[in-house]
A and B are shown apart, each in its own frame.
Chain A
Amino acid sequence: QVTLRESGPALVKPTQTLTLTCTFSGFSLSTSGMCVSWIRQPPGKALEWLALIDWDDDKYYSTSLKTRLTISKDTSKNQVVLTMTNMDPVDTATYYCARQYSGSYYLDYWGQGTLVTVSS
């Protein structure tokens, strides 16, 4: 059974750095073809893909946010961490992690999401 769960602060102040952790089970990120992505969704708005890390430690970032994002993995802990620097109120969103296959980049399992509010 595949599960993913996001964790991190519910509230951050402007200019701070956000660190989110995705803890997963039911698969290994060392298996060929496996990837984990982060996606966010501001309230009432569309999904926005942020970053991906794959089994080979290759990393991909959203073109518009790449200067602010870092994704990493700890295979032994079954965790993927996303950091986003210089947070702004427009970054207020529900942040999801999801398992993704490298072949078709199909997101088959999602976490329940965590709401992050940016406010002073």
Chain B
Amino acid sequence: NFMLTQPHSVSESPGKTVTISCTRSSGSIASNYVQWYQQRPGSAPTTVIYEDNQRPSGVPDRFSGSIDSSSNSASLTISGLKTEDEADYYCQSYDSSNPGVFGGGTKLTVL
């Protein structure tokens, strides 16, 4: 089994850009797609990025995803931060025997 490691928390000011990392412990990050979910308090998660860098309809293009094989990590970048972006963010990937591995989540504070 592999793990996905995220920073516990990040903070940034409105209008700025923030990047959240997700590092895979074993196996190549590029071998399996990575998804990113946003979860606001009291609500179910919703997808902001799927298949590494695809945005579902309705998700603004301020949200982008990328993969870096050199660091074996994925990243979620949010530009033009808004207070409404304040939430927990989870990365998720899989391998042949584990269809759903989640990172530990990152709390984004927009202050």
Contact = CB atoms under 8 A, between A and B. Distances in A.
Interface of A: 35, 37, 39, 46-49, 52, 60, 62-63, 96, 100, 102, 104-108, 110-113
B102 A49 contact: yes
B68 interface: no
Contact of B45 (A35, A47, A105): A47
Contacts of A52: 99-100
A108 B101 CA distance: 15
Given A47-B37, A106-B35, 16 more contacts: A37-B100, A46-B90, A47-B102, A49-B100, A49-B102, A52-B100, A96-B45, A105-B32, A105-B33, A105-B35, A105-B92, A105-B99, A106-B50, A108-B47, A108-B50, A108-B56
Interface residues of B, number: 26
B111 interface: no
Interface string B27-46: 00000110101010000111
A63 B3 CA distance: 12
Q: Is chain B's interface secondary structure helix, strand, loop, or mixed overall?
A: loop
Contacts, number: 69
Contacts of A107: 35, 37, 45, 47, 92, 100
Contacts of B104: 46
A104 B35 CA distance: 9
Given A47-B90, A60-B97, A106 B47 contact: yes
Contact of A105 (B37, B100, B103): B100
Contact of B46 (A46, A63, A110): A110
Interface string B83-108: 00000001011100111111111000
A105 to B, nearest CB: 4
Contacts of B94: 105
Given A106-B33, A106-B35, A63 B99 contact: no
